[in-house]
Amino acid sequence: MARKEFETLTPQMFYILLSLKEPHYGYEIMQKIEAATHGNLTVGAGTLYALLPKFLEEGYIRTAGEEKRRKLYVLTEDGKKKLKDEVKKLVKMTADYREVFGE
């Protein structure tokens, strides 16, 4: 069972997982998120390196070798499922919002 903190992903958690469709190492993940969100979201190094071991423990990501002594991480099937569930929740929330406000 997923730990309580991961029941609902925060934007930072969501984008870290999203950026790991392809294998990347820590510093690359931060750069990729900044580029993907056009600078709207910055993930602190502390937040990233605190989450990586926890995501590994939960099975959302796995290591995919090393590059210049830096570990590469990539999304697992469980991670993909977690992202999909999260998106479903967001879609549902968006639909509910539209139903109320009709926008």
Q: Which is nearer to other proteins, 50 or 87 (CB)?
A: 50
Tokens of 19: 């950026």
Q: Which is nearer to other proteins, 49 or 97 (CB)?
A: 49
According to the binding rule CB under 8 A, does residue 5 interact with other proteins?
yes
Site for other proteins in 12-51 (CB under 8 A): 12-13, 25-27, 42-47, 49-51
- Minimum CB–partner distance for residue 102 and other proteins (Å): 28
Site for other proteins in 61-80 (CB under 8 A): 69-71
Contact, 52 vs 64, CB < 8 A? no
Nearest alpha carbon to residue 57 among 40, 76, 35 = 76
DSSP 38: T
Spatial distance between the Cα atoms of 97 and 70, rounded to a whole number of angstroms: 43
Contact, 52 vs 81, CB < 8 A? no
Under rule CB under 8 A, how many of the chain's residues touch other proteins?
A: 20
Residues lying near other proteins in the complex (CB under 8 A):
5, 10, 12-13, 25-27, 42-47, 49-51, 54, 69-71
